[in-house]
Chain A
Amino acid sequence: MDNMRDAVRHFILENFLPGEDAKNLADDTELKESGILDSLSTLKLVTFLEERFGVEFEANDLEAGNLSSIANIERLVESKRAGRS
């Protein structure tokens, strides 16, 4: 499977930052305070993550800083996968 970070990066770039260069969206770029993820884009991202990586999120998974950067998103998805198996 592709690198998860790159898959998430590609999804965010294509859907929420059209035209942006991949190098400007780092693994630790802040996604919430920077306005990249608002309520609607968060819903879209969550749907993408659930479908692409076969995980299911609970409401409290999406709180706090879990979606605040690509690195944190990867950590969240990995932890959901580990919990499931």
Chain B
Amino acid sequence: MSRGYGLAALLEATARRVPGNVAVSVPGGKQLTYAELDTLTSRLRDRLVALGVRPGDRVGLRLHKSIDSVIALFGALKAGAAYVPVDAESPAARGAFILNDCQVRALVTERGLEAALTEELRQLGAAPAVIALDEHEHDVALAGELETRQQADPAPEVPTAEVGPDDLAYILYTSGSTGKPKGVVLTHGNALSFIDWCSEIYQPHEADAFSSHAPFHFDLSILDIYVPVKHGARLVLIGEALGKDPNRLAATIASEGITAWYSTPSILSLLALYGKLDRYDYSRLRIVNFAGEVFPVPQFKTVRAIWTAPRFYNLYGPTETNVCTYYEVPQDDSWKTMDTFPIGLICEPNRGRVVDEEGKDVPLGEPGELVVWGPNVMRGYWNLPEQNSKAFLVDAEGLPWYHTGDIVTQDAQGQYTYRGRRDRMVKRRGYRVELGEIEAGLARHPDIREVAVISVPDAESGVKIAAFISCQAGASLTIVALKKASVQALPPYMIPDVFSVVEALPRTSTNKVDLQALKTRLGGA
């Protein structure tokens, strides 16, 4: 443990060095300097400690993207806690499951989300301390809220907690195949290793403006938030509504002078298709990162045709490792003949291997599972000892290599190319989706007897998700009703594209659901 180490220390050091630089801004709204951000996050730290938060605790955040949400996560970090961001746009029950699973001591949320969430938490027997804010995308509601509380009940100033590399920084929940989200536990050491790598590759400077498009519960946010904070650059927050509106987004990237963009390929495709990008000046844009799913080369072409100057990076890595391989798209035209971009080279000092089902290295060029060891790799899943033992391949020297589940090949230059999955996980709009979690969510509907979910490749969106459903005796469900049931049970990115109501699910001779038969049925339909 050393003084000045950790994610909060990045903010404190930058606030001392360049207090007047703009730290965070909202297009068309407010902005905070580093000095202001440092002060407000310290006030929240004091309040959280007064509410009982101690180093090693968890603090839940269920907030829309806002300056408040940035203050909230740094406030938690300064208190020595790990922050746990949950999606404000997903069902409250899912958020409550997550916050109860990791036993948050305190929760920062919005008044509009508070009642449903605390009710769900109460049903689970959890009652964390709550700070609820007026939702205000363009303003800073936390400042007023903290001030009001300070008047009524002063919280003494406390020092920022000292942390070390192995202390928890945040827990990001991803889709779980058993139907329950699982928490990926990441430390300050994990995050800083990745931020150092980014600093090396991107050479960020104070004049940079980094986009924050991904929500904070998505691991893309780690680059977005902490790289500019380390370097005294500006973080430009893209709210949920703006983030989905390619027309306004295209204008915003130009008008905010964003220099480093990071999003899923789906968003870049939408920008190219609907953003009318040729209307604007993007001369400041120097870096475009994409991650989360495969970017089909033809769709990349439409983006590159307009954004000719920036360097494009294909970043790869599950939440468990954050980015662990990278590929820079060549600046000449040589990429045009590729079918698909490689995921590239391992991010040093991490190491990768390609192994067979027994964990033995496959010959160079042969397909196998990518396993990764190094400082980026998570400590484990929260409270899931069984999944933890399956998640790692422990080698003869005792090093734990994380099983990505992704099938790759490696070429003689060391570059990896993604070939597919070894299980029932798919990527949709960059999100990990376990088909089993969709099944479990829909199966809770009282009129549904059985449900099976499959995915098939789709030229336009990459993957199409289809749900086959049989109803309880005497019940019937329309497709409209099934859509509605999905909205209530699942995050938006998990809602199936196609529903099919069947008498009974086809079974194999061993009485398992015949997923292959369903795929054939979908293909023939």
Binding site for B on A (CB under 8 A): 17-21, 24-25, 29, 33-36, 38-40, 43, 47, 59
Report which residue of B244, B483, B486, B525 has the largest number of chain A beta carbons within 10 angstroms of its beta carbon: B483
In the assembled complex, the Cα of A47 lies from the Cα of B270 at a distance in Å of 13
In the bound complex, CA of A24 to CA of B246 (Å)? 31
Give the 9 A-B residue pairs with the shortest CB-CB distance, closest first.
Answer: A35-B487, A39-B244, A20-B479, A24-B478, A34-B484, A35-B483, A17-B479, A24-B480, A18-B498
In-complex Cβ contact of B480 among A17, A47, A59 (8 A): A17
CA distance A35 to B480 in the complex (A): 9
CB nearest to B493 among chain A residues: A38
Contact A17 B245 (CB under 8 A): no
- Which residues in B have their C-beta under 8 angstroms from that of A34? 480, 483-484, 487
Contacts known (A18-B498, A19-B499, A35-B486); A40 close to B480, Cβ less than 8 A = no
- Minimum distance in angstroms from A37 CB to a CB of chain B: 10
Check if B500 is an interface residue, CB within 8 A of chain A: yes
User: Are the C-beta atoms of B483 and A17 separated by less than 8 Å?
Assistant: yes
Cα A10 to Cα B303 with chains together (Å): 32
Nearest opposing residue in chain A for B484, CB measure: A34
Known A24-B478, A29-B480; contact A38-B274, beta-carbon cutoff 8 A: no
Is there a chain A Cβ closer than 8 Å to B180's Cβ?
Answer: no
A43 CB contact (under 8 Å) in B274, B483, B486, B498: B274
Q: Which residues of B contact A43 (CB under 8 A)?
A: 246, 270, 274
Measured CB to CB, the residues of B under 8 A from A are 244-248, 270, 274, 478-480, 483-484, 486-487, 492, 495, 497-500, 525
In the complex, are the beta carbons of B483 and A36 less than 8 A apart? Answer: yes
User: Which residues of chain A are within 8 angstroms of B497 by Cβ–Cβ distance?
Assistant: 18
User: Which residues on A sit within 8 Å (CB–CB) of B525?
Assistant: 19
Interface of chain A, main secondary structure: loop
Min CB distance B238 to A, Å, is 13
- How far is B478's CA from A29's CA once the two chains are assembled, in angstroms? 12
Q: Is the beta-carbon distance between A38 and B492 smaller than 8 angstroms?
A: yes
A43 CA to B492 CA, complexed, in Å: 16
User: What residues on B are CB-neighbors of A18 within 8 Å?
Assistant: 497-498
- Provide the residues of chain A in CB contact with B247, threshold 8 Å: 59
Closest to A21 in B: B478
Chain A residues, CB < 8 A from B478: 20-21, 24
Q: How many A-B residue pairs have CB under 8 A?
A: 46
Q: Which residues of A contact B498 (CB under 8 A)?
A: 18-19
Q: How far is the CA of A16 from the CA of B9 in the complex (A)?
A: 48
**Additional A-B contact list (12), CB under 8 Å, known A18-B497, A38-B495, A43-B246:** A18-B498, A24-B478, A24-B480, A34-B483, A34-B484, A35-B492, A38-B492, A39-B245, A40-B244, A43-B270, A43-B274, A59-B248
State the Cβ distance, B502 to closest chain A Cβ, in Å.
11
Can you list 19 A-B pairs with a CB-CB distance of less than 8 A? A17-B480, A18-B497, A19-B498, A19-B525, A20-B480, A24-B479, A25-B480, A33-B484, A34-B483, A34-B484, A35-B484, A35-B487, A36-B480, A36-B483, A38-B495, A40-B244, A43-B246, A43-B270, A59-B248
* A83-B506 Cα distance, complex, nearest whole Å: 54
Q: State in angstroms the CA–CA spacing of A28 and B270 once bound together.
A: 29
Report the Cα distance A33→B495, complex, angstroms.
13
Residues of B within 8 A of A40 (CB): 244, 270
Smallest distance from the beta carbon of B243 to chain A beta carbons, Å? 9
How far does the Cβ of B485 sit from chain A's closest Cβ, in whole Å?
A: 9
Give the most central of B248, B478, B495: most A CB within 10 Å. Answer: B478
Instruction: Please tell me which one of the listed residues B244, B245, B486 contacts residue A59 in the complex, with CB atoms under 8 A apart.
Output: B245
B56 to chain A, nearest CB (A): 38
What residues of chain B lie closer than 8 Å to A39, measured between beta carbons? 244-245
Q: How far is the CB of B459 from chain A (nearest CB, A)?
A: 15
Instruction: State A47–B486 Cα separation when bound (angstroms).
Output: 26
CA A21 to CA B481, docked complex, whole Å: 12
Q: For A59, what are the chain B residues with a Cβ–Cβ distance below 8 Å?
A: 245, 247-248
Q: Which residues of A contact B274 (CB under 8 A)?
A: 43, 47
> Nearest residue in B to A36 (C-beta to C-beta)?
B483
B412 CB to nearest chain A CB (Å): 40
Q: Which residues of B contact A33 (CB under 8 A)?
A: 484, 487
Whether B270 lies near A35 (C-beta < 8 A) is: no
Contacts of A29 in B (CB 8 A): 480
Contact partners of B270 in chain A: CB under 8 A: 40, 43
Q: Report how far A83 CA is from B83 CA in the complex, Å.
A: 51
CB distance from B462 to the nearest CB of A (A): 12
B244: A residues at CB distance < 8 A = 39-40
Q: What is the minimal beta-carbon distance from B39 to any residue of chain A, in angstroms?
A: 36
Residue in chain A with minimal CB distance to B500: A19
How far, in angstroms, from A5 to B237 measured CA to CA in the complex? 39
A80 to chain B, nearest CB (A): 16
Task: Find the residue from B274, B479, B499 having the highest chain A CB count within 10 A.
Answer: B479
Within the complex, the shortest CB–CB distance from A15 to chain B, in Å, comes to: 10
